[in-house]
Amino acid sequence: MDKKKFLNILYIFLLFVVVIGIRLLYINMPFWYDEACSWFSAKQTFPMGIFNNLLHLDLQHTPLYFLILHVWMKIFGDSEIAIRSLSIIFGIGTVPLVYIVAKKIVPNIVALFACLVATASPVLVFFSVEARMYPLAVFMVLLSLNYLIDFEQKNDTKSLVKLVVTNILIPYTLVGAILYNFSLACCYGFYLFKCKKDCFYKYLKGLLCEVVLLLPYFALIIYYAKMRSLFVIKHEGPLLFFHVIDMIRNFFGIIMTPNPYWPEGDPYLITLTFTFLVIVPCVYFVYGYVQGCKLSEKFLKVLYLIFIVNFLLAVILSYAEVFVFTVRYILYLLPPIIILSVYGLYKKISAVHFKVFLGIFILVALVYNVQKLDTIKYLKTQAFKTVRVEADNLKLNEKDIVIMPLGADAPYYFRSKGAPRVFNFDFHKEIRNPYNDNFYDKSQQKLMDKDAKYGVIYDAVFADRCFSENFDQYFMKNVNNTVPVGRYVLLALYGGDANSVVPLEETRKSISSIQDIKNRSLGIMMEKYLNDLDVMLGRNFVLANSFTKGNYTYYLFQKVR
């Protein structure tokens, strides 16, 4: 074996050691709430139980990931490591795929450095072990790009079929990834129409097949839009300028935002460390992308435009309060953007400058990935597992009940024998379904999917009874009548939910008209819901203790009669 071949093999081996090793550091973290939801959806019966959960409780995701995860859990179990191992396969596979894709359109040195950046990118590392659909979506969009390049270079039917099949699977994996399909169809279709008419008609046939096979997807998102518009869409909040800044920071900065799961928009404290680890790399990569787009021609410029259009569509839909602008929802853009940004830097700056900047970025990012482990573990624990920890501290057992207005639909840490039971009612999801018998009476259900729902909420708040007879009966049957005298109910309120613990009279004073209900229907319903819990528990329980720890506020009730 010659020296060059040996060095290439050694390089590939070392690269995979780093790629796998840096990601395995995160595989045994506690689940946060969304990851527990993945487990809950996937553990339903295959396939109709999974579909039923998505249609009546989840109301926001497409089924492919959960169907795959169901089979995976049947084979490997449902521990954090077992469930995350599915994601890590795609997270690891993304890195060599970056090199394979890049080598087809840019010089080898660019492909090599793009691969190394993808290896070390903190946000890619972080989400590559997430027990969600994001690593699969990232991998599939990159695979789609690979087949797009093949079709452009070969003009063969085989590549087109692979492209169409992959593009069909992408929206069934991540609901918002349809923006990629739309951007690709518009930008590449226009390019073919202008420059390669013979390929255009072949591509158009493939695109028509894609649209036909995505009809169930479009029917699903129309249904989701209708259901979520009842309460949820406005609750997500408006798009702020700093959300866009946060996105760029998480894409290219070495230091991510404190909570990468959700847009923050807090003002930044500009320090020397922040400047070198966030501002400088962001400026470099954005500059590289812009310059690469300006300096490229024809097909390569089309690739730049596809991801610009996708990004802008995400911004526009977020501004219209249809889409939530957070990094995990458009993470699939990052690997192609890395390739194109690195190529732009290669074209615009000197070879030494290029290697020094990217070399420093890669090394420092790898160090950061290791150093942030404790912070991420704390973040994930506080997001969900901490309730089980507190239940154990209080010595709760299977005779007791835990009520979580956020998280009751995914009781992952309460699945073991001897754990307290989680009351099967998640406020944040159950009320999305206007036909929910557990919360709405039949007479209310006839009105909850119309504007008349605001009158229903108004009447319920000002009536001297619970929100509905159904909810009263459901709660008494499953909580008050199942907990033995002397045992406990633990109410765990996540984050801002604790602010909704207010006297009912205060809620009533905040409502002067139906318009007030329209403006904050979820908040008012939450306040009423918590008041109802207090009333129903008060029939048999007394408040034994209340305290705040971490992200949760706890109320411990003991049954006395």
pLDDT of residue 258: 87
pLDDT tens digits, 309-360? 999 999 999 988 888 889 999 999 999 999 999 999 999 999 999 999 999 9
Which residue did the predictor score with more confidence, 67 or 240? 67
Question: Hey, where are the domains in the chain?
Answer: 18-371, 379-559
Cβ neighbour number for residue 221 with a 10 Å cutoff: 17
The DSSP letter of residue 266 is: P
- The answer to which of 104-108, 134-138, 241-245, 309-313 has the lowest mean pLDDT is 241-245
Residue 265 CB-density burial (10 A; 0-12 exposed, 13-18 middle, 19+ buried): middle
Residue 138: band (very low, low, confident or very high) from pLDDT cuts 50, 70, 90: very high
Q: What pLDDT does 432 receive?
A: 82
Mean pLDDT of the chain: 94
Q: Is 513 exposed, middle or buried (0-12, 13-18, 19+ CB in 10 A)?
A: exposed
pTM: 0.94
Q: Is the confidence at residue 369, as pLDDT, over 80? A: yes
- Higher pLDDT pick, 275 / 57: 275
pLDDT at 265: 63
Residue 225 has a pLDDT of 87
Banded model confidence at residue 232, pLDDT cuts 50, 70, 90? low
Confidence (pLDDT) at 13: 84
The pLDDT > 90 percentage for the chain reads: 84
Interatomic CA distance for residues 38 and 68, integer angstroms: 11
**pLDDT tens for each residue of 85-120:** 999 999 999 999 999 999 999 999 999 999 999 999
pLDDT tens digits, one per residue of 40-97: 999 999 999 999 999 988 889 999 999 999 999 999 999 999 999 999 999 999 999 9
Amino acid of residue 504: L
DSSP state letter for 78 = S
Q: Which H, E and C letters describe 445-498, residue by residue?
A: HCCCCCCCHHHHHHHHHHCCCCCCHHHHHHHHHHHHCCCCCCCEEEEEEEHHHH
pLDDT at 427 over 60: yes
